[in-house]
Amino acid sequence: MMLPVARQISDAIPVLRSGGLILRAPRLSDFDAWVGFYASPRSAFEGGRKSRAEAWSHWAADVALWTLKGYGPFGVEDAATGRHLGEVGIYHGETYPGPELGWFVTPEAEGKGVAFAAAQAVLAWVRASFDWPHITSIIEPENARSIALGLRLGGVIDPTLPGIDPTDVVIRHDLRRASA
Report the distance separating Cα 148 and Cα 113, nearest Å: 12
pLDDT reading at 58 higher than 60: yes
Q: What is the model's pLDDT at position 137?
A: 98
Residue 118 CA, distance from chain mean position: 9
- Residues with Cβ < 8 Å from 100, sequence gap 6 or more? 90, 91, 92, 135, 136, 137, 138
Q: Which CATH number fits domain 4-132: 3.90.1170.50, 3.40.630.30, 3.40.1170.60, 3.40.1440.60?
A: 3.40.630.30
Beta bridge partners of 14: none
> Do the beta carbons of residue 139 and residue 172 sit within 8 Å?
no
Each residue's pLDDT tens digit, 4-56: 787 888 889 999 999 899 999 999 999 999 899 889 888 888 888 999 999 99
Q: What is the model's pLDDT at position 2?
A: 66
C-alpha distance across the termini of the chain, in Å: 40
Each residue's pLDDT tens digit, 114-168: 999 999 999 999 999 999 999 999 999 999 999 999 999 999 999 999 999 999 9
H or E element: which one contains 176? none
Report the distance separating Cα 58 and Cα 56, nearest Å: 5
> Do the beta carbons of residue 112 and residue 97 sit within 8 Å?
no
pTM: 0.93
pLDDT reading at 178 higher than 80: no
